[in-house]
Structure 1
Amino acid sequence: MQEVKLTTTLTVYDNLNELVGSDASLMHLAIKVRNTAYAPYSNYKVGAAILLENGEIITGTNQENAAYPSGLCAERVAIFYAGSQYPGVPIKKIAITAAASNGSSNEPVSSCGACRQSIAEYEQKQKTPIEMLFMGETGKVIKMNSLADLLPLAFGADDL
């Protein structure tokens, strides 16, 4: 038997004002689109903004449905659109922000399992890391250098 310890590194910013360059602009855009989310059931709005290697920026918001499994998270809306409209163009980074309408969301919110798996597929396919930025409505921002930092033992095409 062998015990293996997995570790990850992340950067924590005290607030949005500490971000610079494309990190700041991407998160500001994610915040802006967050307000257009369709979340009448959970009242939990999520916005995502993706920077592609070609400079294009794609946004997405969560889209709920009364038949709960039929909705999609903001990350998958944006990633699937990017894959559809810009096939083969690598994703450089994604910024994600979430806000609950019934109170303040000050803690960073990371992607759900389904979104992690979807992002992992793109990261594995493009063979380059996807930087990830997370925040709540306000407060701290977490930055990770790769989806693999969030999901180190991701299932992928090589596992089939």
Structure 2
Amino acid sequence: MPKKININIEIITYGELNDLAKEDQELLEAAEKATFTSYAPYSNFNVGAALRLENNDIIIGNNQENAAYPSGMCAERTAMYFAGSKYPNTTIKTIAIAARKGEEKEFIPISPCGSCRQAMLEYEVKQDENIRVIMKGTDQIYELSSISDLLPFKFTQKDLFE
């Protein structure tokens, strides 16, 4: 007999930047700023990500495209991989993501792509601590308490070895 499973994900919404804690405002502003230095000549879609580490450092990343499309890299993974390289044993507390089209100043609240979700989940599992996610739009801001909320049917190292 088929059985339904409900997956509940708590999403906190904010109407404006001032509704957030100062450190989250700072993180979102860093993500927004990163969109202005992304390299997106093909998609014209500029994405910025900013991580807050447990030592309070902020690491930014942005999307880097390439004429050979699969060779580019998303903002979230750019930031995560840099943090993993420079601060291999430092916990990532929060990631903020902002995106905008072309030269527009309006931000779009986007969710990370599947590849980024999987890569970010690896860091969350590795550090055994949730990574908060904040996604910025001009009129709406979304907050999730964990990368796992973005990937409820996750694939982790446990699947490989258990």
Q: Give TM-score scaled by structure 2 length.
A: 0.93
Question: Could you tell me how far apart the structure 2 residues matched to 1:27 and 1:102 are?
Answer: 19
Can you list the C-alpha shifts for 1:98-125, whole angstroms capped at 9, x where unaligned?
0001767554111011000001111011
Query: Does the Cα contact within 8 Å between 1:106 and 1:140 map onto a contact in 2?
Result: no
| Structure 1 runs (4+) greater than 4 angstroms displaced | 102-107
Question: Could you tell me how far apart the structure 2 residues matched to 1:106 and 1:36 are?
Answer: 15
Question: Could you tell me how far apart the structure 2 residues matched to 1:59 and 1:28 are?
Answer: 11
Task: Determine what percentage of the aligned residue pairs are the same residue.
Answer: 47
Amino acid at match of 1:115: C
Query: Does the Cα contact within 8 Å between 2:99 and 2:108 map onto a contact in 1?
Result: no
Q: Which residue of 2 aligns with 1:43?
A: 44
Q: Which residue of 2 aligns with 1:146?
A: 146
Amino acid at match of 1:84: S
Q: Which residue of 2 aligns with 1:79?
A: 80
Residue 154 of structure 2 aligns to a residue in which SS? coil
Residue 8 of structure 2 aligns to a residue in which SS? coil
Question: Could you tell me how far apart the structure 1 residues matched to 2:108 and 2:54 are?
Answer: 29
Question: Could you tell me how far apart the structure 2 residues matched to 1:4 and 1:104 are?
Answer: 40
Unpaired runs of 5+ in structure 1?
none
Question: Could you tell me how far apart the structure 2 residues matched to 1:71 and 1:107 are?
Answer: 21
Q: In the TM superposition, what is the alpha-carbon distance from 1:17 to its structure 2 partner?
A: 2.6
Residue 48 of structure 2 aligns to a residue in which SS? strand
Residue 155 of structure 2 aligns to a residue in which SS? coil
Residue 142 of structure 1 aligns to a residue in which SS? strand
Q: Which residue of 1 aligns with 2:122?
A: 121
Q: Is residue 66 of structure 2 the alignment partner of residue 65 of structure 1?
A: yes
Question: Could you tell me how far apart the structure 2 residues matched to 1:82 and 1:94 are?
Answer: 11
Query: Does the Cα contact within 8 Å between 1:119 and 1:147 map onto a contact in 2?
Result: yes
Query: Does the Cα contact within 8 Å between 1:33 and 1:47 map onto a contact in 2?
Result: yes
How many correspondences in the alignment? 159
Q: Which residue of 1 aligns with 2:155?
A: 155
Can you list the C-alpha shifts for 1:3-28, whole angstroms capped at 9, x where unaligned?
32111001011122322221110001
Can you list the C-alpha shifts for 1:120-157, whole angstroms capped at 9, x where unaligned?
11101111100000023x22110001011111121111
RMSD of Structure 2 on Structure 1 (CA): 1.4
Can you list the C-alpha shifts for 1:14-71, whole angstroms capped at 9, x where unaligned?
1223222211100011111110000000110000000011111100000000000000
Residue 84 of structure 2 aligns to a residue in which SS? helix
Question: Could you tell me how far apart the structure 2 residues matched to 1:116 and 1:139 are?
Answer: 24
Amino acid at match of 1:25: E
